Structure 1
Amino acid sequence: MSRPLRIEYPDAWYHVMNKGRRGEPVFRTHNDYNSFVGLLKETIEMWNVRVAAYCLMPTHYHLVIQTPDANLSRCMRHVNGIYTQRFNRNHLLNGQLFRGRYKAILVEGDSYLLELVRYVHRNPLEAGLVKELDKYRWSSHQGYLSDSRKWDWLYKDFILSLFSIEKAIASKMYKGFVSKGVPEEINGIFLREKLPSALGSDRFLDWVKSSFFPAKFHKEVPESKMLSPDAERIKEEVCRSYGVSRADLYRSRRGISNEPRNVAIYLLRTLRGDNLEEIGRNFNINRFSSVSSVVERTRRKMSKDPKLRRRVEEIKTSIKMSQA
């Protein structure tokens, strides 16, 4: 039997899950749970992924992650492989831990993303592991209710910003949202024997179908590369959005931020997967670490600035439309 098609593109969101072989526990001790969370933190740094939510249950796990570099398969191979090695070493075992690679559902952002986070976080309650969701230690639900810096690694600010730009209000709205329970429509999807490959609006599903499923017949070309937008198109759309010239895009003055330039660099990195050296040459930046800093600063600013985030999403939409 052939493996399921993995739909990968920059900034895609996924619900990822995996279960123990024959329903056996994959988390036996507190050390196992902590080891997996530690591995998630390592994976964020190593593979440049964003973990927005997680829930670890005795026999399985759920993750809500975003992949700026379109690298879900490589990232999850690392997570499952390294955790299996550590689990087996700690429990003097060997062999396969999980029943297979993993299952991943591509998820549309915004409203469907919120439903997914709610579904993942309510798992311990629905399974009868706790009577109060706030008491469950092995999920990121507590992180959404906390201001502690120990949760800084969790990509929760973007999710909370979908409720409100005011953190305190957003956290309160999130808690109320989760307490309402998961709609039957969403629950029904995850009760199916065969899970869908994508979850979202009809428009989103049509886009996925037209963009990716024909691509499986062109196996010699990676999907992420087939659908990568032209670099010049990215620059053109950034200039159009900001009303600046191409020359303005390349200007760099010490101590003065050039937002159009930073956004262009961010999009070249996340939409095309251009390496730091390529981008550096493109923008006359000598130190590759400086390119990486621009990408990270822009990412952080987007998580806190709804106006910038909307602008970047509009630019990305224009780029996608030009590819259609």
Structure 2
Amino acid sequence: MNRGRARQTIFHDSQYFQAFLATLAEAHARFDCIIHAYCLMSNHYHLLIETPKANLGRVMRHINGVYTQRHNKLKRTDGPLFRGRYKAILVEKGAYLLQLSRYIHRNPIEMANPMVEDLAKYPWSSYPAYIGETEPQDWLTRDFTYDMLGHRYKYKQYKAYVLRGNDAEIADFYSKVKTAAVLSSDDFKHALKGSVLANASEKVVVKQLQPELTISDVVNAVARFYHCPISQITSVIKGPSKGFEGRKVAMYFCQELLDARLADMALFFGLGHGGSVSFITHQIRKRRNDDKQFAKRLSDIFEHIMKQVT
């Protein structure tokens, strides 16, 4: 979740809401995050997302950064939009995910002055799609939530579940001045490296959700995959080896997996500026989308890289 600076409005009209949804679609496509639910309010948003690739930081940097650019372009302004980095809560997949889905979808009416009388009429959340009132976004995942209800009539039963109101435990969890960083059963907390996360800070939790990787880790792994010296990845090469695939792929994964600045990546790879990195990674993404065999190779390289943190 995140909120506008000084609680300022971040969604002014439908253009802004649509721009944010487009940004979510891009994050889903680029980083393989699973979006279970969303609710966009006037000055904040809630997302229920799953990150199988342990790349939460990269996902959120894209969402907050790209939307800020789009907001400022529409508003003809500049500067930061959000109050700071996003707030992250680790949620146990199970009953807590179902309850949190309900909490997120009830946001428009859980206010002193409700935004709508009927939640189905609020267009900027995933709730209307969950109850069959609108077509879902292609990137919205609902089946896991439906399966947890265990009912045959999924639209009707999910609607009844949401309209019953929030669970007392969830309401208490969010009513606290300092919200905890883990929403789960005690067994789940203890299963995460003993009891390390039982009373963990958000910083510790987020650290568990993203890989302990550096640019050097990515480069070393890519070099091993391509059976080439590291210098062939990091150095600007002229002649027959110019345009070496492994070098471009290394830049691509540094951008996809790490929270690294383009300027730092450019310096590491011997390039003049961050724009060169952005151009090269754009080429790789385009090839990935056009070439299934290459996309499969990228998937294999990703698995090879991630072995370093397992």
Considering the TM-score relative to the shorter chain, is it more than 0.5?
A: yes
Change (3 A) 1:290 1:137: same
Write the letter of the residue equivalent to 2:56. L
Corresponding residue SS for 2:88: strand
The structural deviation recorded for 1:75 is 0.6
Following superposition of structure 1 onto structure 2, how do residues 134-283 of structure 1 map, counting pairs within 5 Å?
134-146=120-132, 150-164=136-150, 166=152, 169-208=153-192, 210=194, 224=211
Alignment size in residue pairs: 216
CA deviation map 1:55-89 (0-9, x unaligned): 00001000000001000011101110010011011
Contact 2:108 2:122 (8 Å CA) reproduced? yes
Residues 161 and 288 (structure 1), Cα distance of their counterparts in 2 relative to 1, 3 Å cut: farther
Check the 8 A contact 1:21/1:98 in 2, yes or no: yes
Structure 2 CA distance for partners of 1:22 and 1:209, relative to 1, 3 Å: farther
2:64 aligned with 1:85: no
Percentage of matched positions with identical amino acids: 41
- In the TM superposition, residue 224 of structure 1 has moved relative to its aligned partner by 3.5
Return the match for 2:34 from 50, 54, 58: 50
Q: Which structure 1 segments of 5+ residues have no match? A: 1-16, 227-272, 274-285, 295-322
Do the aligned partners of 1:212 and 1:223 also contact (CA within 8 Å) in 2? no
Contact 1:122–1:178 under 8 Å retained in 2: yes
Residue 184 of structure 1 and its aligned partner are, at CA, apart by: 2.2
Measure the CA separation in 2 of the matches of 1:21 and 1:148.
32
Which of the numbers 103, 115, 119 marks the counterpart of 1:129?
Answer: 115
Q: For the structure 1 residues 133 and 292, does the alpha-carbon distance in structure 2 shift closer, same or farther, using more than 3 Å as the test?
A: farther
Structure 2: gaps (5+ residues): 214-256, 258-291, 301-309
Using CA pairs below 8 Å that are at least 6 residues apart, which structure has the higher relative contact order?
Answer: 1
Q: Which residue of 2 aligns with 1:262?
A: none
**Contact residue 189 and residue 195 of structure 2 kept, 8 A:** no
Return the TM-score normalized by structure 1. 0.61
Q: Is the 8 A contact 2:56 2:210 kept in 1?
A: no
Q: 1:148 to 1:179 in 2, by over 3 A?
A: closer
Deviating runs (4+, > 6 A) in structure 1?
A: 291-294
Go from structure 1 to structure 2 and tell me whether the alpha carbon gap of 1:106 and 1:134 turns closer, same or farther (over 3 Å shift): same
Give the conservation status (yes or no) of the 8 Å contact 2:37–2:48: yes
Structure 1: distance between partners of 2:62 and 2:299: 25
1:116 corresponds to: 100
1:297-316 matches, cutoff 5 A: none
